[in-house]
Structure 1
């Protein structure tokens, strides 16, 4: 397994990875009917660095890393992660998180903040807590889940 910077040649594989997750509407606050081009433009936007996890030529996951805020908040990183459903449970999210922490530190970030972790995404919440993130805020009913209706969104934070 190798984590490397994404290239323009990865666009189709990134779209194939992220579109089903976005369309499911359970974890990301993005339009469920987003186009492939718009999804890739979001994931690989100019304000972020995007990375992919590759194993034997197959893309198993991807994450982006960016500043959470500009100006006085630009020392705090933000990131988003997705893992191919068939590859879940193999430590890929944990490996991407570790890689992102290292890259964030190297870029001068001193902390990482997730602004909108859907509380019903129990696997993600548990992983982030196991990796040292604290829930520092709760936004009651802030996410419209497709089957659970209104669920809380969490703000999670850790120092690097």
Structure 2
């Protein structure tokens, strides 16, 4: 099974726009190893946002970089909601926003992706797009088992796993 990364972004945008957000931003990791997936998630986010403008925020995984973004938003125009590339970036940005005196979700709603267990331990708890990683591992294991046992005639096509939003306090 393959994760639908554009669908991850689309799921976040659909949730945020359905909840009335009309000023959106999306964090793209400033990391060459993550850039392609980040751009795929951004494309899905923009597509699902439709007519709602989306500001791209290139962000290094660094407290100082997140503090610069949060400080700029605290001093002036800011989105009502931001989709972070993953939960780690969401946590980084959420901390910076809170440190800058902004309320999450009151001033800026935050949505991450991957639905890490840590999302439930934060204050506020991080809303996240859930990815079916366990189902992916199970599907791969079943395919490998069939190949090893010789019961699999051909490798099946890999279906896309549909992401879903897990609503918590941050958005």
Structure with the higher strand share, 1 or 2: 1
Structure number with greater CO (CA < 8 Å, separation at least 6) is 2
Report the structure number with the largest CA radius of gyration: 2
Q: TM-score, normalised by structure 2?
A: 0.33
Structure with the higher helix share, 1 or 2: 2
Q: TM-score, normalised by structure 1?
A: 0.35
